[in-house]
Amino acid sequence: KFSLDDRVALVTGGGSGIGRAAAEALAEAGAKVVIVGRTPEELDETLAGLGGEERGHISITADVSSELEMGNAFATVANRYARLDIVVANAGINGVWAPLDQLGVSEWDQTLAVNLRGTFLTLKLALPLLRKRGGSVVVVSSINGTRVFSNSGATAYSCSKAAQVAFTKMTALELAKDKIRVNVVCPGAIETNIDDSTERRALEGIHLPVEFPEGDVPLTGGQPGSADQVAQLIGFLACDASSHITGTEIYIEGGQSLL
Ligand code: NAD
């Protein structure tokens, strides 16, 4: 039941962090994996780690917020595999974290475009292939936007992450008749490089903490979780072991949101 032999999976943001770990876990379970991302060097590295194209995996450079680029990506998948069973909508950015009056409209739009429009486009464009046999979609949201609101300034990020949960539930209901399951995982502090590109802007006197303050993860005494731990959950939701689960949000955060 945990086998993904003969399945084809697509992972956005597959060049690093949680996406790379998910691609590895799905490939290990037997799936052919398509990794999609915006940075070719990262994708090359991930693809090589999977064993390359000889093993049936491919990488595609595309911006998830672009309808055109994602349309081309799914045309490539259709030509190459003629099927798709698993979609992991994982690509995301932290974007600009700033007090409201310092947050520009284009900055707000950019975060929503990648995190929310990207999720929408990924599932919408995957539908013709997913509908052939049914499938499993896993959206990667966050505890930010659903349970934890301590990162002041992360307003656009949190709104995009909350909306991904609503998106999951709406589409799970709509697509159940097509035997397409849609679930969302909400990680807490996970060790990746996502924070490196975050632009934090603080007004004097306003506290803008770094994401996930140390000491706030009960299960580990403050240590963040690993991308691989999230990948194992994604693998479970992708395979038939979870065949009766849809529309569910699952938290993976070491008890962080219990505090
Ligand atoms: P990461 O930066 O390593 O991964 C994000 C990936 O998405 C990168 O490979 C990046 O190149 C890609 N990406 C970004 N914008 C893109 C675009 N427009 N088009 C295509 N690809 C794009 O960070 P991560 O922590 O692995 O993040 C993965 C997901 O996990 C994100 O959605 C993030 O919000 C979520 N998340 C992360 C944490 C954490 O603590 N790391 C916690 C909760 C949720």
Extents of the domains making up the chain: 8-258
DSSP string covering 155-182, please?
Answer: HHHHHHHHHHHHHHHHHHHHHGGGTEEE
CA of residue 20 to ligand 1 center, whole Å? 10
Comparing 9-13, 145-149, 164-168, 236-240, which segment has the lowest mean pLDDT?
Answer: 145-149
pLDDT at 210 over 90: no
pLDDT at 214 over 90: no
Average pLDDT, stretch 199-213? 62
φ and ψ of 141, to 5 deg:
-100, -135
**Euclidean distance between the first and the last CA atom of the chain, given in angstroms as a whole number:** 35
CB 65 within 8 A of CB 121: yes
pLDDT at 202 over 80: no
pLDDT at 173 over 70: yes
Interface predicted TM-score (ipTM): 0.99
Of 189 and 172, more confident = 172
- pLDDT tier at 2 (50, 70, 90 boundaries)? confident
Comparing 4-8, 92-96, 151-155, 168-172, which segment has the lowest mean pLDDT?
Answer: 151-155
Average pLDDT, stretch 5-28? 98
Of 155 and 208, more confident = 155
Rounded to whole angstroms, how far apart are CA atoms 202 and 194?
Answer: 19
Tell me the β-bridge partners of 11: 35, 88
Quick check: is 157 catalytic? yes
CA of residue 37 to ligand 1 center, whole Å? 10
Topology classification of domain 8-258:
Rossmann fold (3.40.50)
Of 97, 108, 157, 212, the active-site residue reads: 157
Question: Which tokens sit at 210?
Answer: 């770094």
CA of residue 8 to ligand 1 center, whole Å? 21
* Tens-digit pLDDT profile for residues 52-107: 999 999 999 999 999 999 999 999 999 999 999 999 999 999 999 999 999 999 99
